[in-house]
Amino acid sequence: MSFPYEYIFKYIIIGDMGVGKSCLLHQFTENKFVPDSPHTIGVEFGTRIVDVNNKKIKLQIWDTAGQERFRAVTRSYYRGAAGALLVYDVTRRITYNHLTTWLTDARNLTNPNTVIMLIGNKKDLEGQRDVTYEEASAFAKQNGLIFVESSAKTGENVEEAFLRTAKLIFQSVQEGNVDLIPGGVSPQTNPTTNDPTTTTTKDNNCSC
């Protein structure tokens, strides 16, 4: 095998503007926190290779713009996602209130086996907390989501969020619910030709 990984999982990060989606991505891929980073206007892209059950898995993470006006456009990026990280800001209730809309989009636009993880970000700002852990936890339970509170600033639970999702996806792969192409075998997973657009449109082969 000439690639250092055996699977590629596509993730999307969704949620309201300013909840820290890009920061989560950067913290996870580069261990870096950039305060006051500009809003993402478009879709950013990062990768990281992780170990799950001794298998090397390349996570291909798509970080989407959160602004309402881009909602219609960002919907086109959900396709083919094996994991969706649905993020809100524990210090701004409004971002929590919008979860239902985001969740509806995620459910409608992804595969039934897509693992959706709820992330309450900015847990380092305990003093400004606006949504309790218990409340969000109940919401997650009610909607069948896994849930974690994280801080992209301190890095707390960031790895955990991405890795728990990967483990669940991998479990799903092993149970045969998801048909993923092992890396290095199919030309579609060749990192030299993987193009974000082609990845989203290759769903014929990949029902993840």
* Joined tokens for residue 146: 């896994």
Specify the stretch interacting with other proteins by CB under 8 A; choose among 36-44, 84-92, 162-170, 172-180: 36-44
Residues in the chain: 208
b/e burial code for range 165-174 (CB count within 10 A of at least 16 → b): bbebbbebbe
Nearer to other proteins, 160 or 195 (CB): 195
CB of 186 to other proteins, least distance (A): 16
CA 183 vs CA 40, 59, 118, 197, 204: distances in Å:
29, 12, 28, 18, 17
- CA–CA dist 71, 139 (Å, integer): 23
Among 41, 94, 138, 185, binds other proteins (CB under 8 A): 41
- CA–CA dist 121, 42 (Å, integer): 21
Nearer to other proteins, 26 or 122 (CB): 26
Q: What is the largest CA-CA distance in the chain?
A: 50
Per rule CB under 8 A, is residue 187 in the interface with other proteins?
no
Among 37, 53, 76, 128, binds other proteins (CB under 8 A): 76
Query: For residues 18 and 125, is the Cβ–Cβ distance under 8 A?
Result: no
Site string for other proteins, 52-71 (x = CB under 8 A): --x----------x---xx-
**Residue recorded with tokens 């990280």:** 85
- CA–CA dist 194, 113 (Å, integer): 23
Nearer to other proteins, 137 or 184 (CB): 184
Per rule CB under 8 A, is residue 185 in the interface with other proteins?
no
Per rule CB under 8 A, is residue 18 in the interface with other proteins?
no
DSSP string, 57-123: EEEEEEEE---GGGHHHHGGG-TT-SEEEEEEETT-HHHHHTHHHHHHHHHHHS-TT-EEEEEEE-T
Among 17, 18, 33, 75, binds other proteins (CB under 8 A): 75
Nearer to other proteins, 64 or 91 (CB): 64
Among 143, 186, 194, 207, binds other proteins (CB under 8 A): 194
Span 117-156, contacts to other proteins by CB under 8 A: none
Among 30, 126, 160, 179, binds other proteins (CB under 8 A): 30
Residues binding other proteins: what is the number (CB under 8 A)?
A: 30
Per rule CB under 8 A, is residue 17 in the interface with other proteins?
no
